[in-house]
């Protein structure tokens, strides 16, 4: 009885080994075939990229591309750079085509750029089989592109009005009150830029690119006497919510404020920006100090330094400062 059991156990072990051998051969062949198929797909993708790279080079260097000259050699080198590994018998064919249907072949040195002529690069190769049972497979890929020719760099220009940062072209302190030469309600500070700036960099709720004037009330403009000069800055604009930016106006004189009232706040001032004229305006509101002085010095000139946060659509901050050309207010 025990001998029979041992014999059956040996028979089962032998059967398992035979089954494993049969299954492993099939599994190995299946895996090997998948690996081989993956290599073919990879080669096809590399061949397509190689043909396109050759065509990209040919749309510029096309004059002798079909006659075996320097342009042809450069195209071949570009194709070879992308095809490597299990590839053999690589050949590259280049020809130029008339851009007008039916796309007849023309000599590359007779290409007419304005006719949208084409260059065609065809890469052919053999995919070498991996192992003795895998045959070599012939593959090819073709790319066509419109010939553009080399760019003429001598005619490339950069629009200076778009590339240059905005600058201040005008600074006017206009009298809108009752007394010339005195800071008071309704006087305006007008700053004109050389190009449109982003309105939201002045007041966060304003819309960029809007040519319609935008304004916000409730602004506080503070005049401060420091030493021999008086300066004005915006210190509050609650309607701008997350941010407001103006700059500093230097009046170059101490005669606008009394030394006993060296800080004056103009509450309820208005701030506006006109996207068409590129002008930023502050209209002074009500001063909280009654005794403002009047300067009689006609030679006094103001200067304005803009906030660096004010920028154009390209992100360029306003460059330089601005100066007034007439008496303030």
More confident residue, 157 or 114: 114
Taking the C-alpha atoms of residue 249 and residue 268, their distance in angstroms, rounded to an integer, is: 18
More confident residue, 300 or 146: 146
In a domain, 213, yes or no: yes
Is the pLDDT score of 6 beyond 80? no
Q: Are residues 192 and 314 in the same domain?
A: yes
For residue 140, give its domain range.
40-150
CA distances from 307 to 57, 124, 146, 317 (A): 48, 63, 49, 9
More confident residue, 188 or 259: 188
pTM score of the predicted model:
0.53
Q: Are residues 226 and 292 in the same domain?
A: yes
For the chain, the domain total comes to 2
Q: Are residues 119 and 180 in the same domain?
A: no
Q: Are residues 94 and 61 in the same domain?
A: yes
**pLDDT confidence tier of residue 40, bands split at 50, 70 and 90:** low
In a domain, 30, yes or no: no
More confident residue, 250 or 40: 250
In a domain, 29, yes or no: no
The residue among 122, 150, 178 that closes a domain is 150
Q: Are residues 193 and 140 in the same domain?
A: no
Q: Are residues 144 and 62 in the same domain?
A: yes
The residue among 128, 150, 172 that closes a domain is 150
Q: Is the peptide bond before 318 cis (omega within 30 degrees of 0)?
A: no
Mean pLDDT (the chain, rounded):
81
Q: Supply φ then ψ for residue 246, to 5 degrees.
A: -130, -75
In a domain, 329, yes or no: no
Q: Are residues 319 and 175 in the same domain?
A: yes
**pLDDT confidence tier of residue 2, bands split at 50, 70 and 90:** very low
More confident residue, 2 or 30: 30
Q: Are residues 136 and 242 in the same domain?
A: no
In a domain, 72, yes or no: yes
Query: How many C-beta neighbours within 10 Å does residue 41 have?
Result: 9
pLDDT at 86: 60
In a domain, 254, yes or no: yes
Given a contact cutoff of 8 angstroms between Cβ atoms, the answer to whether 79 and 53 are in contact is: yes
pLDDT at 306: 94
Q: Are residues 226 and 319 in the same domain?
A: yes
Spell out the SS3 assignment of 278-304.
CEEEEECCEECCCCECECCCCCCCCEE
Taking the C-alpha atoms of residue 221 and residue 256, their distance in angstroms, rounded to an integer, is: 15
Q: What percent of the chain has pLDDT over 90?
A: 28
Q: pLDDT tens digits for 161-177?
A: 456 899 999 999 988 88
**pLDDT confidence tier of residue 133, bands split at 50, 70 and 90:** low
In a domain, 268, yes or no: yes
Closest CA to 202 of 283, 282, 286: 282
Q: pLDDT tens digits for 315-324?
A: 899 998 888 8
Q: Are residues 178 and 276 in the same domain?
A: yes
In a domain, 24, yes or no: no
Q: Are residues 136 and 179 in the same domain?
A: no
The residue among 117, 150, 183 that closes a domain is 150
pLDDT at 154: 58
Q: Are residues 144 and 175 in the same domain?
A: no
Is the pLDDT score of 136 beyond 80? no
pLDDT at 161: 46
Q: What is the DSSP letter of 76?
A: H
Q: pLDDT tens digits for 79-114?
A: 888 776 667 788 889 989 888 888 888 888 877 776
């Amino acid at each position: 009885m025990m001998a029979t059991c041992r014999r059956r156990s040996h028979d089962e072990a032998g059967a398992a080994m035979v089954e494993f051998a049969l299954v492993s051969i099939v599994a190995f062949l299946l895996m090997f075939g998948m690996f081989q198929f993956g290599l073919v797909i990879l080669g096809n993708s590399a061949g397509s990229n190689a043909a396109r790279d050759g065509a990209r080079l040919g749309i510029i260097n096309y004059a002798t591309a079909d006659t075996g000259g320097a342009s042809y050699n450069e195209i071949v080198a570009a194709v070879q750079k992308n095809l490597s590994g299990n590839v053999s018998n690589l050949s590259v064919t280049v020809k130029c085509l008339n851009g007008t249907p039916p796309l007849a072949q023309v000599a590359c040195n007779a290409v007419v750029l304005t006719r949208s002529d084409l260059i065609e690069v065809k890469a052919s190769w053999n995919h070498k089989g991996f192992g003795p049972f895998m045959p070599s497979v012939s593959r090819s890929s073709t790319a066509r592109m419109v010939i553009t020719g080399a760019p003429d760099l001598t005619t490339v220009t950069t629009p200076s009005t778009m590339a240059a940062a905005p600058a201040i072209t005008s600074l006017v302190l206009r009298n809108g009150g009752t007394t010339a030469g005195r800071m008071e309600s309704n006087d305006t500070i007008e700053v004109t830029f050389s190009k449109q700036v982003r309105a939201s960099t002045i007041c966060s709720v304003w819309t960029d690119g809007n040519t319609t004037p935008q304004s916000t009330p409730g602004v506080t403009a503070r005049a401060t006497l420091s030493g021999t000069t008086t300066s004005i800055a915006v210190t509050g604009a609650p309607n701008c919510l997350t941010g407001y930016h103006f700059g500093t106006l230097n009046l170059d004189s101490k005669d606008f404020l009394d030394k006993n009232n060296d800080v004056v706040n103009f509450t309820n001032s208005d701030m506006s920006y006109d996207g068409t004229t590129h002008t930023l305006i502050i209209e002074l509101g009500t001063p909280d100090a009654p005794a403002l002085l009047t300067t009689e010095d006609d030679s006094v000139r103001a200067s304005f330094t803009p906030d660096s946060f004010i920028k154009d659509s390209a992100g360029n901050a306003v460059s330089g400062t601005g100066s007034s050309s007439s008496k303030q207010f």
